[in-house]
Amino acid sequence: MQKRVKLSVIKENQINAVYGFMVSSNPLTIQCEQADIFQNKSIIIFPETVDNNREIYTLDVKENKDNTVVFEKVKRIDDVFFKNHYIEFSHTFSIAEVDSHNELKYKALAANINRQELNSTASRLKEVFSRDEVENREIITFLIDINSKLDEILYLLKPKEKIDGAEDYLSLILSEEGIIFACKKDVACDKIFAYTAIRDSGGFFSFAALCSVEKLMVSGEYIIYKAVFSDLSFDAKDKIIKYIFRLEREMLKEANR
pLDDT tens for residues 113-151? 888 766 555 555 555 555 455 566 677 667 666 666 666
Q: Which residues contact 202 (CB under 8 A, 6 or more apart)?
A: 122, 126, 144, 148
Report residue 255's pLDDT band, with 50, 70 and 90 as the boundaries.
confident
Are 32 and 67 within 8 A, CB to CB? yes
pLDDT of residue 239: 85
Most confident of 32-46, 89-103, 192-206: 89-103
Q: Which residues contact 211 (CB under 8 A, 6 or more apart)?
A: 178, 179, 191, 192, 193, 194, 227, 228, 229, 230
- CB 219: neighbour CB atoms within 10 A? 19
The overall pTM is greater than 0.85: no
Distance of alpha carbon 244 from alpha carbon 53, whole angstroms: 20
Q: What pairing do the DSSP bridges indicate for beta strands 178-183 and 222-229?
A: antiparallel
What pLDDT, in 10s, does the model give residues 24-46?
989 999 999 888 888 777 899 99
